[in-house]
Structure 1
Amino acid sequence: MARVYTKTGDDGTTGQLYGGRVAKGGELVEALGDIDEAVSTLGVARAGCPDPQIAQILLRVQRELFIVAADLSVNPSHRDRLKPGISLAEASMVTGLEQLIDDLTREHPLRPVFLVPGTTPLEAAIDVARTVVRRAERHTLRAKEAGHVVSEHAQKYLNRLSDLVFVLARQAAEGAEEPVSHD
């Protein structure tokens, strides 16, 4: 097996997909780190998920986040090498999330109030993942403002994903009364 460490990042940079290097402390790497953290926090939620439907959705979006990360991390001069379903975020990923959100909210309508996370362990874990996805979206927008290429589909995907994860957290409350943000 090859070594895990390469020493190429010792200078404070990290490699882009298909060549090139960017600063580890820059906005793009912050966004990519948040996406990585979102994948992991969704994994924590999935590991404790007794509901096969929710677990399957969590796994699906974990895999899709790898696509979004690849889309963001590619050297801009090599975007033509990205492959749909592997490394290129597409409109169908966004519409897929929208359809899922619509289906789930039809099954379990949302309350028009702010809710306090922590009703069930699964709901709390999913809500933590939601906050990480929101941060990933903010850092992705900052990376775009800093001049990095951010595809419209990757940007929209992160926005819709946080909505979906919110909906999943409500489902994970298992019908228990979730406390509202104020009395």
Structure 2
Amino acid sequence: MSPFYTGNGDDGFTGLLGEGRIAKNAPRIEAIGTLDEATAAIGLARSLSKSEMVRSLLIQTQRDLYQIMAEVAATPENASRFRTIQSEQVQWLEEKTRDISEQVNIPKEFILPGDTPASGAISLARTIIRRAERRVVALFHEGDLENIELVRYLNRLSSLLFLLELFETSLEKPDTPTLAKG
């Protein structure tokens, strides 16, 4: 049986999708690591969700995040090979955000995360997505990424996650003011 490690990264460098190696603390690797962390947090939220609709939305976002990670991990000459996130995925997020917004009342003040396990996990995932967005924006502004749709996707995803947090709270605590009436 082969080991679960290669030892290739013992020098503090790692490979990309393409030629060459890069330091493990490089901004591109920070972005990939944060996207990976966000995917894991969304997985935790999905495992705690009481709603099949929420679980379905979250699994699609996890799949999209893996596509984003691949594009971010690609060397500039290979980036187009891994480009799958386009305006259609951003529009899908906008559509889903609109749908959920019609099912919850938006609070007029800050909310404290954690009314339910699922809503707390979604809130955590949202904050990690915000950090991932900052990392991807930095790469975009430095000219290391060309696809603005990655930035737009992450920005829209954080909005959707906020509404899913409110929705999950409303499922377990129907008297919460975030529940839409009617």
| Alignment-derived partner of residue 46 in structure 1 | 46
For residues 53 and 147 of structure 1, do their structure 2 counterparts lie closer, same or farther at Cα, with a shift above 3 Å needed?
Answer: same
Q: 1:11-160 residue pairs with structure 2 within 5 A?
A: 11-82=11-82, 88-160=84-156
Q: Are 2:158 and 1:162 aligned? A: yes
Structure 1 unaligned residues grouped into runs of 5+: none
What amino acid maps onto 1:177 in structure 2? T
* Distance across 1 between alignment mates of 2:2 and 2:175: 49
Describe the superposition over 1:80-122 as per-residue Cα deviations: whole angstroms up to 9, x where unpaired.
322xxxx521111111100100111022232232111111111
CA distance, structure 2, for counterparts of residue 95 and residue 7 of structure 1:
42
Contact 1:123 1:169 in 2 (8 A): yes
Partner of 2:167: 171
Q: Post-superposition shift, 1:3? A: 3.8
| Structure 2 residue aligned with 1:10 | 10
In the TM superposition, residue 50 of structure 1 has moved relative to its aligned partner by 1.9
| TM-score, scaled relative to structure 1 | 0.88
Q: Secondary structure at the match of 2:22?
A: strand
Residue type matched to 1:103 in 2? D
Following superposition, the deviation at residue 152 of structure 1 comes to 0.5
Instruction: Give ranges in structure 2 of 5+ residues lacking alignment.
Output: none
1:6-46, CA deviations, whole angstroms, 9 ceiling, x for partnerless residues?
22212212111133322210111111111101110111111
Per the TM alignment, residue 4 of structure 1 is displaced from its structure 2 partner at its CA by 2.8
Identical positions, percent: 34
How many angstroms does 1:147 deviate by? 4.1
- Give secondary structure in 2 for the equivalent of 1:76: coil
Of 102-111 and 61-70, more deviation after overlay is shown by 102-111
What TM-score, normalized by structure 2, do the two folds share?
A: 0.88
Write out the 4+ residue segments of structure 1 that deviate beyond 4 Å after TM superposition.
none
Mapped to 2, the partners of 1:20 and 1:89 lie a distance apart of 24
Aligned-partner Cα distance in 1 for 2:124–2:63: 18
Shift of 1:160: 0.6
Question: How many Å apart are 1:149 and its aligned residue?
Answer: 1.6
Change over 3 Å in CA distance of 1:2–1:77 after alignment to 2: farther
